[in-house]
Amino acid sequence: MSAHAPHESRKHHENHAVPVITIDGPTASGKGTVAVLVAKKLGFHYLDSGVLYRLVAMKLVQAGEDGANEAAAVRAAESLDPQFGPEGQVLLEGVDVSADIRADGIGLQASRLAVHPAVRQALNVIQHRARRAPGLVADGRDMGTVVFPDAPLKVFLTASVQARAERRYKQLLEKGFSVKLEKILHDLQERDHRDAGRAIAPLKPAADAFWLDSAGLTIGETVEKVLAAWQQRQ
């Protein structure tokens, strides 16, 4: 899936009126699950921007490359043609990689390649295409600050690193991965530092973001708070 930037810029301008809710936050803050449920409640489309970076990371790993290799990462991003199934499946070149791309190793490679401006530019083209009527809920790290800065609701979903590590630990165990909580905690701390400290599109809340700490909330309660914030902006 590819397109030239001028065409995409024009297309993005044409769908500027389509409403967007962005949900940004650190790894394992629950933003993906919350975004999916909010999208379903509102009948909006859903965009998981992190999946795109993980797919690029998977292509690099399959090719024996590393996320730090900018040229290889750009080639992988520009040739990316993802498919998404009706139940949230993610396919890469016809193969269902929904579970594989959630491995922590892939996540770390995705974080490494996300620092390259040309990679982000290539993936922004794909992300802008997702802005279709009646609306879009997009989750990631720079959805509200860079990709959709005009979104009427920008949520910044956060939680302590310990709470997020325990959440990720349970998720991976349920999916059959053999993991250690201490390693997950270390990896999250490393990724938080990298994501917040990178020069290009660092992880940070938008100036007008709606802050929401999910640590003491159920998924349902978090969703309701996002929906209530959306209603206030209508």
pLDDT by residue for the chain (234 residues), tens digit each?
333 333 444 444 447 789 999 999 998 899 989 999 999 999 999 998 989 999 999 999 989 988 889 999 999 999 998 887 666 688 888 899 998 998 878 988 998 898 899 999 999 998 998 899 999 999 999 999 999 999 999 999 999 999 999 988 988 899 888 889 999 999 999 988 888 888 788 889 999 999 999 988 999 999 999 999 999 988
Q: In this structure, are residues 92 and 59 in contact, taking their beta carbons and an 8 Å threshold?
A: yes
Answering whether pTM is above 0.85, one says: no
Is 28 labelled a binding residue? yes
Find the domain containing 207 and state its range.
Answer: 19-226
Q: Is residue 172 part of a domain?
A: yes
Question: 176 to each of 58, 74, 102, 132, 169, how far by Cα in Å?
Answer: 19, 32, 12, 35, 11
Is 130 labelled a binding residue? no
Is 73 labelled a binding residue? no
Distance from C-alpha of 99 to C-alpha of 94, rounded to nearest angstrom? 14
Is 222 labelled a binding residue? no
Is 31 labelled a binding residue? yes
User: If we measure between CA atoms, which residue out of 90, 65, 88 comes closest to residue 75?
Assistant: 65
30 torsion bin: left (phi>0), alpha (psi -120 to 50), beta (else): left
Considering its fold, how many domains does the chain have in total?
Answer: 1
Q: In this structure, are residues 165 and 181 in contact, taking their beta carbons and an 8 Å threshold?
A: yes
Q: Is residue 7 part of a domain?
A: no
Q: Is residue 8 part of a domain?
A: no
Is 25 labelled a binding residue? yes
Q: Is residue 82 part of a domain?
A: yes
CATH of residue 140: 3.40.50.300
Is 50 labelled a binding residue? no
